[in-house]
Structures are given as C-alpha cells and as structure tokens.
Structure 1
Amino acid sequence: MTSETFLDQAAHVLRDRRATYGDPRQSMAAIAARWSITLGHPVTPAQVVLCMLDLKLARLGHDPRHVDSLRDVAGYAAVLCEVSR
C-alpha cells in the first residue's frame, strides 16, 4: 500500500467518524469534561487526543503492522490539528 492510499483511507475513517460522532472539537471537549471529573483536575481536548495517540502507540508496540491502529494514529494527529486551532 502506498502512503497516499494509506492517508486516503485514514481520511475516509475521519469522515465516517465525523458523520457518526459529530465535530471532533465538540467530541474531544465532551470527553475532556468527563475525564476532568474522573481525574479530579482539568483536562483539555488536546490532552484527550494526545492520550488517545499514546493508547494507539502502545498498541502498535505490540504489533507495529496493525493497520487499523496506524490509521487511528494518522486520524488522531489530524484531529489534534483541528482541536488545537
């Protein structure tokens, strides 16, 4: 698979997730609010995305060829750009 094909697939996943879950800025803000309560200190939407990236990277440590996790890393990197604006 070429890198362009891989990124096209990641973009497709992002579009699907947006259709299912809505704007990622709102989704990450909602998760941040919940995690802030759970953890007892403020969590930002960007921190949520960074933690999700860490989760995917930890999984890739077990199997670095797992394509779904690789796509998720690309997707979360894109979401981080959007959330950080």
Structure 2
Amino acid sequence: MTRSIILTEAEQVLEIRAEEYGPARVSLDKIAARWSQNLGCEVTPAQVVLCMIDLKMVRLTHDVDHRDSLVDVIGYAVLMSEAQQ
C-alpha cells in the first residue's frame, strides 16, 4: 500500500461522508455542543477532532494493520483545518 493510495482513500472517505452527513464543520460543531453539554465544559470542534484521532489511535494499537483506522486518522487530521475556522 503506497502513500498516494492511502491518501486517495482518505479523500474518498471524506467525500462519501460529506454526501451522507453534510459538511464536516457542521457535524463537528454539533458534536462539540453535545460533548460540552454532557461533560459540563466547553469542547471545541478542534478538540473533537483530536479526540476522534485518539480513538482511532487506540484502535490501531489493538490492531496496527487495521486499514480503516489508519485512513480515519488521516481523514480527521485533514479536518483539523476546518475545525479551526
């Protein structure tokens, strides 16, 4: 598996998710609002991204060859720029 194949796959996943769920920033805002309410402290969209990357990293430590988790880490990292806007 080459770098360009993994990056292309991550881009395709982001496009599919955008078609299914709408703009990533809207979802990140909604998740941040729910987590803020549940946790009783402000959670930002960027923190949501970091937490989702952490989740995927934990899954990778369980199975380092789990391709979907690797692709998701890359996808969430790409979304950080949108989360910070």
| TM-score, L = length of structure 1 | 0.96
Aligned length: 85
For 2:72, the aligned partner's letter is D
- 1:38 Cα deviation (Å)? 0.3
What 5-or-longer segments of structure 2 have no aligned partner? none
Q: Which secondary structure does the structure 1 equivalent of 2:43 belong to?
A: coil
CA distance in 1, matches of 2:9, 2:72: 10
Query: Could you list the per-position Cα deviations for residues 3-42 of structure 1 after superposition, in whole angstroms to 9, with x for gaps in the alignment?
Result: 1011101100000001111111110000000000100011
- 1:81 Cα deviation (Å)? 1.7
For 1:52, the aligned partner's letter is M
| Residue 33 of structure 2 is aligned to residue 58 of structure 1 | no
| TM-score, L = length of structure 2 | 0.96
Q: Which residue of structure 2 lines up, in the alignment, with residue 31 of structure 1?
A: 31
Q: Give the CA RMSD over aligned residues.
A: 0.7
What 5-or-longer segments of structure 1 have no aligned partner? none
Percent of aligned pairs with the same residue? Answer: 54
| Residue 70 of structure 2 is aligned to residue 70 of structure 1 | yes
| Residue 4 of structure 2 is aligned to residue 7 of structure 1 | no
